[in-house]
Structure 1
Amino acid sequence: MYSHILIATDGSDLSRKGLDHGLKLAKQLGARVTIITVTDMWAASVLAEAGPATIADYEASQQVMVKEVLEEAARFATESGVAYETRHIPNRYPADAIVETAQKAACDLIVMASHGRRGFRKMLLGSQTNEVLTTSTMPVLVVK
């Protein structure tokens, strides 16, 4: 049914549930996975007003976070026995990057959490998830 699954993660507890669910599904189907994390572009523009030292600090902290998120995802995939690759998509609107990466990688399913790290938006279906649901031409599995 599905042979290549894209799993989006931001390292939050809920996105780990999405990752776990996507990996279990891939294992059962014998599918391979592409695991991505996206760093939003708006944050860098906000920090531009704060000066170069703050921007450099922000970018360094983002790289540390991305490394940790993708290393954890890779460990889970390895433990699950699922063929995988990891990708970081920097400075992009997450929903756009998720859909475009899934299309370019010829994925046939997107798996993601209902929401991620974004403040009050966690109360409702996440705006990024909602955007993926409305723009994707392939099936999207939302993990609550």
Structure 2
Amino acid sequence: MYEHILVAVDGSELAHKGLEHGLVLAKALDADITVLTVSEPMHPDSVRAARLAGLDNIVIDYNRQLESLAKERFEVVEGRARDHGIEVNVVHKIDESPAETIVRLAKARDCDLIVMSSHGRRGIQKILLGSQTSEVLVKASVPVLVIR
């Protein structure tokens, strides 16, 4: 049914539930699995302020910290994959739009299912906070399994 599953994680407890669903599906279907985490780049105003303060390498340092956090996150992901007896590919991207990155990577890797979690916010909370899951649902050309 599904041959390559993309699971989007952000390090939250809820994302771990999405990861577990993705791992179980991949094992049951003998599918490849890629786990993606997306970090937002440093805000341009922060970059300008840091440079004015004489911190010229601030973006490099910030990106190194993001890579370090992603590495820690992926250690957990790889451990869970080992527990399920499967191999997992991990990808970290730095991008302003996590949803667009998820959709782009799914297409680039020929994934035929995206698994992600959602807090299920509604009303004004959804408008104010936005919803990466909603955006993926609108933009993805493959099925999206949403874990609440």
Q: Is this a same-fold pair by TM over 0.5?
A: yes
Q: Distance in 1 between matches of 2:66 and 2:125?
A: 21
Task: Report the RMSD for the aligned CA atoms in angstroms.
Answer: 2.5
Amino acid at match of 1:4: H
What TM-score does the superposition give when structure 1 sets the normalisation length? 0.85
Deviations 1:30-88 (A, max 9, x none): 111011111123x3424213305454553333122111111211111121112321111
CA contact (8 A) 1:31 1:83 kept: no
Q: Which runs of 5+ in 2 are unaligned?
A: none
User: Considering only CA atoms, is the larger Rg found in Structure 1 or Structure 2?
Assistant: 2
CA contact (8 A) 2:95 2:101 kept: no
Alpha-carbon spacing, 1:121–1:36, altered in 2? closer, same or farther (3 Å): farther
Q: Distance in 2 between matches of 1:121 and 1:62?
A: 27
Q: 2:118 aligns with which of 109, 114, 117?
A: 114
Alpha-carbon spacing, 1:63–1:46, altered in 2? closer, same or farther (3 Å): farther
Amino acid at match of 1:22: G
The percentage of counterpart residues that share the same residue type is: 43
Which residue does the alignment assign to 2:34? 34
Which residue does the alignment assign to 1:10? 10
Q: Which runs of 5+ in 1 are unaligned?
A: none
